[in-house]
Amino acid sequence: MRHLILFGLGLLAFGCGTSPTTPSPPAASSLVINAVSPASGTTIVVPEQYPYFDLGGVVIPPHSDLISVNVSVTSAHEVPWAQLSVYLLTGPERLGYCGQNLPDAPTWSFLPAGWTTTYTVTGFQIFRLPCEVTGVRAMLHMRNNGLLIPPIPSETIAEATVPVSARLRR
């Protein structure tokens, strides 16, 4: 009987030290731009096979191998709906951009706290050519009203900007 009691106490002590824990979500949402391709200093020639329209510019379809932006995003809180918008910046102004990932703008629904993913954007709509790109701005946001300009802070879950020097031309 004495051995049985000691064995039971040993199991109890062992179990107390190994209780499973649920990982807590991160304290803040984040967005990291992992890579932009091609490298800074590159001239990107948009092929004639992608027609240029006076209203709207030229659409570079996803998987065209012209431009790519790889991001990792994390939402610290539950979010009912989110979209990833990526802008090809032309200056320091909030609205200074010449392209956006309109043909390749993923959306997600019902994100739990702690949700994370990595995504590579490869499709863009370029509004004017030529264009001197000075940076890339990526934003995970909750705006779902069709407005294409960058979301305001209250609509933004996380964002990041990296400097890039590239020229887009025909």
Residue 52, C-beta contacts closer than 8 angstroms, at least 6 positions apart: 58, 129, 170
Convert 113-150 to b/e letters by CB count within 10 Å (16 or more is b).
ebbeeebebbbbbbbebebebbbbbbbbbbbeeeeeeb
Cα angle 164-166-170, degrees, rounded to a multiple of 5: 155
The CA distances from residue 33 to 57, 144, 162, in Å, are 25, 23, 7
The pLDDT tens digits along the chain (170 residues) read 444 444 444 444 444 444 455 566 678 999 999 999 999 999 999 999 999 998 899 999 999 999 999 999 999 999 999 999 999 999 877 679 999 999 999 999 999 999 999 999 999 999 999 999 999 999 999 999 988 899 999 999 999 999 999 999 99
Query: CATH fold of 25-169, please?
Result: Immunoglobulin-like (2.60.40)
The token pair that represents 136 in the structure block? 């890339």
The token pair that represents 77 in the structure block? 């809180």
| 123 DSSP assignment | -
Kind and range of the H or E run holding 5: helix 2-16
Rounded Cα–Cα distance for residues 58 and 125 (Å):
6
pLDDT digit string (tens) for 75-99? Answer: 999 999 999 999 999 987 767 999 9
Rounded Cα–Cα distance for residues 124 and 88 (Å):
9
Which sequence spans correspond to the domains of the chain? 25-169
